[in-house]
Structure 1
Amino acid sequence: MRGIAGAPRHGIRPDRSRDPWAVREAAGVVAAPGADAAAVRAGVVPPASASRAAAAHAARARRARPARRRVLDRPRRHGGDRPAACRARRGGRATRPRLRSLLRAGSGSLGHLATWPENRLWVSADGSTGIAYRLVGEVVVTVSDPFGATGDPEAAFGEFLAFCDARAWTPVFYSVHEGWRAVLAARGWRSLPVAEETTLDPAAFTLSGRAMQDVRTAVNRARRTDVVTVDASWTALAGPLRRQIVAISEHWAADKRLPEMGFTLGGLDEIDDPDVQVVVAVDAQERVVAVTSWLPVWESGALVGRTLDMMRRAPDAPNGAMEFTIAESIEAHRSAGLRRTSLSATPLARPAEQAGVAVLGAVLALVGRLLEPVYGFRSLLRFKSKFGDAAEALHLVYRDPMQLPAIGAAIARCYLPQLTWGSSLRLLRG
């Protein structure tokens, strides 16, 4: 879990707290007795003397821990003026040049999620196609569509499925677009909709018309009060702006029962990326009133679009601050000649009765209800519809209905990684 350089780390996860080796992120990675000497010298694991400090740390953590802990951990905290570069420690495979090269060849609207921590990368034998995934138990949950210069999607899928089958893993493709769903459907796979993505053409975007009245009012109000937008990468933003954004995000997280997701919705951790555009609305007193982040969409090496990710507003922000920030971002995309603006996928917003699969639909509905007070997926879907109604369904694609209980538990843990397997199975039983 990423944090600010020099800030204290989180405590031990509930399901690993009795394992002194599991405190490696809190007290430094420790070498197990008999660890390979070459690995120690290479720095893969530090000397075994670190184990005593780790064990002591674990003992102190157990004594300090309350008798009963919630299954869901507390929100992530940040301090200082920017996220620290801790990603390599937990998700180093996500920052490799090979991944960035594949994304630039063709990322799709959600491909940049592959760079986020906890995601693994599979690459086809010919190096043309990448698939990002998370391994939860024996279930492989892919993160949206394959990416790269995929000339033969059927061959890429066949190779990836052979990769999973050789390891006795159960693959499930999550939040894939219609084109990729159709390729798997031709193999006899089944699917159900799990999210909706709102997209628009920046060149055709306009504030005129009755449907845009709320957005137009918000833009006019902001301009009358001298609110402007600033866009840059995270590191290029001025220090005072970064510190205010961190404070806003901290305030947002403080009242939440759940941590930032980091699965299909990013947060402060994910904006420290040179390819991510941060758009900040600032008032006449140079106070940040709202902030958004935009992921890149690549095609044949060219930036062709942006996808909305993080949205945060100051507690005292005027009404319409977020509408203004998004509208100004779309205008900037048009000025940059981008062809596509995606307001991203809104997951878990469909009612369970539309899912069509009783077991999995019930699990996704229950996870959605748990997350709704924090993320407001259904209200978020309504909010995005203010900017256009071109919504495309994203699908979950699976091979065998007998695998649905395991798939449901795995997806629940992707959204709520602090859940134990037992808690995930209890979700299945309702």
Structure 2
Amino acid sequence: MSEYPIDPLPLRSLPKLRPGPWWPRLKPWLMAALGVVLAIAIGVALHRLLHEVRYDDVMAAVQATPGSNIALAIAATAASYFALSGYDASSLSYARAKVARSTVLLTSFVAYALSNTIGLGPLTGGAVRTRMYAAAGLEPHQIAQVIVFNAAAFGLGIAAFGALGLLWGAHEVAPLLHVRPLALRALGAALLIALAAFLWLCARRRALHLGAQRTLRLPQAGLALRQLVISAVELAASAAALWFLLPADRIALPTFVIFYAIAITAGIASHVPGGVGVFEAVMLLAGGTHVPTGAMLGALVLNRGIYYVLPLVVASALIVVYELRSGVAAPIGRAAVRLSPRLMAALTLVAGGWLLVSGVTPLTEDAKEILAALNVPLPLIEASHFLGSVAGLGLVLVARGLLHRLDAAWWAALGLSIVALVLALPKGFALHEAALLSAIAVLLLISRRQFDRPSTLFSQRLEPEWLLALAGVVAACIWVLFFAYQEVGYTNRLWWEFELDAQAPRSLRALLGVVLAGLAFGLWQLLRPPAGAVALPSDEEIERAAAIVRAGPASEGWYALTGDKHLLFSPSGRSVLMFGKHGRSWIGLFGPFGDPREWSDLVWRFVELASAHGGRPAFYQVRPAALPLYLDCGLHAFKLGEYAHIELRGFSLKGARRANLRSGMNRGEREGLGFEVLPPAAVGALLPELRAVSDAWLERQKTREKGFSVGSFNARYLAQLPVAVVRREGRIIAFANLLVTAATQEASVDLMRFVPDAPPGTMDFLFAKVVLHLQAEGYQRFGLGMSPMAGMTTRRHAPRWQRVGRLLFDYGERFYGFRGLHSFKDKFEPVWEARYLAVPGGVTPLFVLLDLAALIGGGIKGVVSK
């Protein structure tokens, strides 16, 4: 592993790593196919393990579990999650970062509650840590080290725990694996020796060099030993949470812990969400000779609720507490509250699965007695059972919309949870089910503000993984139904039996409704017409974008009018995002403009649109304040350089660093130069004269028009904006178009061109006059543009992206005037602000930068020539 989150490869190796254009579309289907094969294998294994087990035996084992044992399991769960916070404390120490203890506890608990339930810990829990620790002030490379350390520490802890377990109970495990106990003890000893060697390296060396470009910084020996102790405590506590739920004559705890470590490892390696099925299959296989299979399965069912669902509910409740507190204005509070969609999506997914399983399993005897005693009408029971199952499918479907913060998904989830809550009573007084649904409804109401994307629920196209996951859920329900009704003889008459005791027919009808609804939705998703090809904007769309930009504060939005970029509008039409396409790269410029409340939705829609077309979504020149918009979409931030702007309040030409401007303006006045700002209405008549100046400048520079992030001589573009001109004896010899808006906050210039015979200092004269004019107009800031690769750190532990950027800045002057451009802007004593590229990780940034260069240069020819 590398201690740096980014490890760029040499350009000459890119063609070898770049897959064909078919790969982006084929990859989701291959991963989904792998998931299907794994699910089938798990199903076959569980079927063989449970062929002698009866559903009634499992429910009897659940009901026979003493309340004191359940309380002990809850206490062990609390101890396990508290110990898990030690992972984060150790990782922060490794990253040399200080974070408040309360923030560490909250972050760790929420991250593990989410990743334990959903799986894919580095992604789900990693996303939580990225948001929370970034709000706490950590740098991106420190957060990356925290995430990597957590994953590595867990692996080492499992290895140490398993090694000790093999030495302790090899005679118990050997028959299951069909090997000799001595071989297992030798394996355990080898693992412990390897761990000892690792600790020795930690004590003797600071880093390991894993090749010319990779370095692994080792933790201190004391930190490594402390983390191993934390891992042992956490694994013992989580194993005890399940062990307490077993019957009184249960397996000895040390032996049980061995099996538990093996099952946990298998569940994580499978990448199945929460290890569902894989963990249970290993535990059933391992404990079969010690604990009755029915009792073990009952304990596993309870453990899923106590160790996985309960912490997820508590974590969601903790987050919404921040929603109710006045301290949400603090960065940590805001970051915590913004996690609500992830947690609510996970809870809704769990509740949907619960309802589906409930719909295909029989009522308990107590429930039947209550329904009979209250004389609940049979049609109401049948309808609640059927509709409750369909509502479960609906919750599974809207979970994705909640994850993307769709307001329509919020309304649907709230409505479905309330409907399912009401139906839980006539369905069979499912109190635990009703409690979960009540919690979801309350938490949704409290976190309403987080679901602010005004999009339609089904306008998003579901990825193949989601469709196959939906099919997997339905298949699992079918398996559960046949497991629950093993003794039933299935005939055509079952469909038409309507009695309180006719539970198999009721479950069959509910399952049929779920299958038909799921099949209809899946076919609609697969057969719906694809999104149309993206076209360049029409004249009407450019006018709409101009109105949005004109009313806003950001002057750089005017680049939307050049006509060489595509435009994506919000559903309301109050916001717009401009982007370019080259190859497979979809690159948004600057970000959304317009109503800030719609920006998140626009960013999501753009990412989804690019992904639906097999493209690489990216955003160029992103401001620091807007980074959370892109991090929420799973993009990574890479620093590009720094943007300079002059604070116009108090600006003057006095001072040694502005002597050139002062001298140029005085010289221009002696040369008889005149300055004038043409309003947009007057620009059109002078376009031929301005074009002559522009063509002469291009010819002298031996260059061609650029595009995308810089303007070009475009009649429509120039006629929308004021143009500053310099005249000599009535002839225009230089001009610059001014990017200004009605908000009078930011202003800048784009095209600055002059004729070859202009007097020396003409552009200094023009620049000084423009700045003073904008100052007089009341503008607050004047943008000087970005200085690429500026501000890159040279620290030893800086990300490699920044270290390479610093080398280009220092030694790449012959290829591009990095340092010269920065020095020119720095003489105006500007304020520097970082700008970023938001893009998926891996080697994708390099491909995006190549496509970006082609967009700016007007194609590959423009990249290799001026």
Q: TM range, normalised to the smaller chain?
A: 0.5 to 0.7
Displacement of 1:419 after TM fit? Answer: 1.2
Q: Does 1:342 align with 2:783?
A: yes
Displacement of 1:234 after TM fit? Answer: 6.1
What is the distance in 2 between the residues matched to 1:95 and 1:371? 38
* Contact 2:554–2:746 (CA under 8 A) maintained in structure 1: no
Call closer, same or farther: CA 1:378–1:230 in 2, change over 3 Å.
farther
**Using CA pairs below 8 Å that are at least 6 residues apart, which structure has the higher relative contact order?**
1
What is the distance in 2 between the residues matched to 1:377 and 1:95? 36
* Contact 1:281–1:290 (CA under 8 A) maintained in structure 2: yes
Aligned to 2:471: none
* Contact 2:673–2:726 (CA under 8 A) maintained in structure 1: yes
Displacement of 1:351 after TM fit? Answer: 8.4
Q: Deviations over 1:219-255 (max 9, x none)?
A: 122223332201114661596x654432332222224
Q: Does 1:229 align with 2:670?
A: no
Supply the AA of the counterpart residue of 1:136: H
Aligned to 1:138: 584
Aligned to 2:720: 275
**Candidates 88, 98, 102, aligned match of 2:548:** 102
**Candidates 570, 591, 595, aligned match of 1:124:** 570
Aligned to 1:314: 755
What is the distance in 1 between the residues matched to 2:720 and 2:645? 20
Displacement of 1:395 after TM fit? Answer: 1.3
Over the aligned positions, Cα root-mean-square deviation in angstroms equals 3.6
What is the distance in 2 between the residues matched to 1:277 and 1:418? 30
Aligned to 1:158: 604
Q: Does 1:253 align with 2:698?
A: yes
Three-state SS of the structure 2 residue aligned to 1:357 is helix
Displacement of 1:317 after TM fit? Answer: 2.2
* Contact 2:536–2:565 (CA under 8 A) maintained in structure 1: no
Q: Does 1:325 align with 2:766?
A: yes
Aligned to 1:199: 645
What is the distance in 1 between the residues matched to 2:605 and 2:536? 27
Displacement of 1:121 after TM fit? Answer: 0.7
Q: Deviations over 1:61-107 (max 9, x none)?
A: xxxxxxxxxxxxxxxxxxxxxxxxxxxx9753585332123223425
Aligned to 1:67: none
Supply the AA of the counterpart residue of 2:765: F
Gaps (5+ residues) in structure 1? 1-88
Larger radius of gyration: 2
Displacement of 1:287 after TM fit? Answer: 3.4
Aligned to 1:408: 849
Q: Deviations over 1:337-366 (max 9, x none)?
A: 22222123345778899994399969x99x
Q: How does 1:333-372 map to 2 (within 5 A)?
A: 333-347=774-788, 356-357=800-801, 372=816
Supply the AA of the counterpart residue of 1:227: L
Aligned to 1:80: none
* Contact 2:576–2:593 (CA under 8 A) maintained in structure 1: yes
Call closer, same or farther: CA 1:110–1:315 in 2, change over 3 Å.
same
Aligned to 1:297: 741
* Contact 1:308–1:342 (CA under 8 A) maintained in structure 2: yes
What is the distance in 2 between the residues matched to 1:90 and 1:162? 19
Aligned to 1:181: 627
* Contact 1:278–1:292 (CA under 8 A) maintained in structure 2: yes
Gaps (5+ residues) in structure 2? 1-534
* Contact 2:789–2:805 (CA under 8 A) maintained in structure 1: no
Aligned to 2:594: 148
What is the distance in 1 between the residues matched to 2:702 and 2:598? 44
Displacement of 1:120 after TM fit? Answer: 0.4
Aligned to 2:508: none
Three-state SS of the structure 2 residue aligned to 1:110 is helix
Q: Which moved more, 1:322-331 or 1:287-296?
A: 287-296
Supply the AA of the counterpart residue of 2:694: S
Call closer, same or farther: CA 1:259–1:352 in 2, change over 3 Å.
farther
Call closer, same or farther: CA 1:173–1:237 in 2, change over 3 Å.
closer
Three-state SS of the structure 2 residue aligned to 1:181 is helix
Supply the AA of the counterpart residue of 2:595: A
User: Percent of aligned positions with the same letter in both sequences?
Assistant: 23
* Contact 2:683–2:719 (CA under 8 A) maintained in structure 1: no
Q: Deviations over 1:154-185 (max 9, x none)?
A: 34322332232222221110011111124323
Q: Which moved more, 1:406-415 or 1:324-333?
A: 406-415
Q: Does 1:286 align with 2:727?
A: no
Supply the AA of the counterpart residue of 2:726: A
What is the distance in 2 between the residues matched to 1:304 and 1:359? 34
Aligned to 2:57: none
Displacement of 1:331 after TM fit? Answer: 1.3
Aligned to 1:266: 711
* Contact 2:640–2:835 (CA under 8 A) maintained in structure 1: yes
Call closer, same or farther: CA 1:148–1:356 in 2, change over 3 Å.
farther
Q: Which moved more, 1:203-212 or 1:151-160?
A: 151-160
What is the distance in 2 between the residues matched to 1:173 and 1:160? 10
Supply the AA of the counterpart residue of 1:286: G
What is the distance in 2 between the residues matched to 1:377 and 1:257? 20
Aligned to 1:397: 838
What is the distance in 1 between the residues matched to 2:858 and 2:779? 35
Call closer, same or farther: CA 1:293–1:356 in 2, change over 3 Å.
farther
* Contact 1:199–1:343 (CA under 8 A) maintained in structure 2: yes
What is the distance in 1 between the residues matched to 2:710 and 2:587? 15
Q: Does 1:387 align with 2:831?
A: no
Supply the AA of the counterpart residue of 1:288: I
Q: Which structure: greater strand fraction?
A: 1
Q: Deviations over 1:123-177 (max 9, x none)?
A: 2234343110011122101111210112154343223322322222211100111
Supply the AA of the counterpart residue of 1:98: R
* Contact 1:232–1:277 (CA under 8 A) maintained in structure 2: yes
Supply the AA of the counterpart residue of 2:736: T
What is the distance in 2 between the residues matched to 1:383 and 1:253? 21
Aligned to 1:62: none
What is the distance in 1 between the residues matched to 2:699 and 2:825? 25
Aligned to 2:476: none
Q: Deviations over 1:381-415 (max 9, x none)?
A: 43333333212222111122242343133112112
Displacement of 1:319 after TM fit? Answer: 2.5
Displacement of 1:189 after TM fit? Answer: 2.8
What is the distance in 2 between the residues matched to 1:151 and 1:238? 36
Displacement of 1:325 after TM fit? Answer: 0.7
Supply the AA of the counterpart residue of 1:106: G
What is the distance in 1 between the residues matched to 2:725 and 2:672? 14
Q: Deviations over 1:281-302 (max 9, x none)?
A: 123x22334221111235xxx3
Supply the AA of the counterpart residue of 1:383: F
What is the distance in 1 between the residues matched to 2:603 and 2:738? 29
Three-state SS of the structure 2 residue aligned to 1:163 is helix
Call closer, same or farther: CA 1:385–1:291 in 2, change over 3 Å.
farther
Supply the AA of the counterpart residue of 1:167: H
Supply the AA of the counterpart residue of 1:177: R
* Contact 2:548–2:593 (CA under 8 A) maintained in structure 1: yes
What is the distance in 2 between the residues matched to 1:306 and 1:294? 7
Number of paired residues?
Answer: 325
Q: Which structure: greater helix fraction?
A: 2
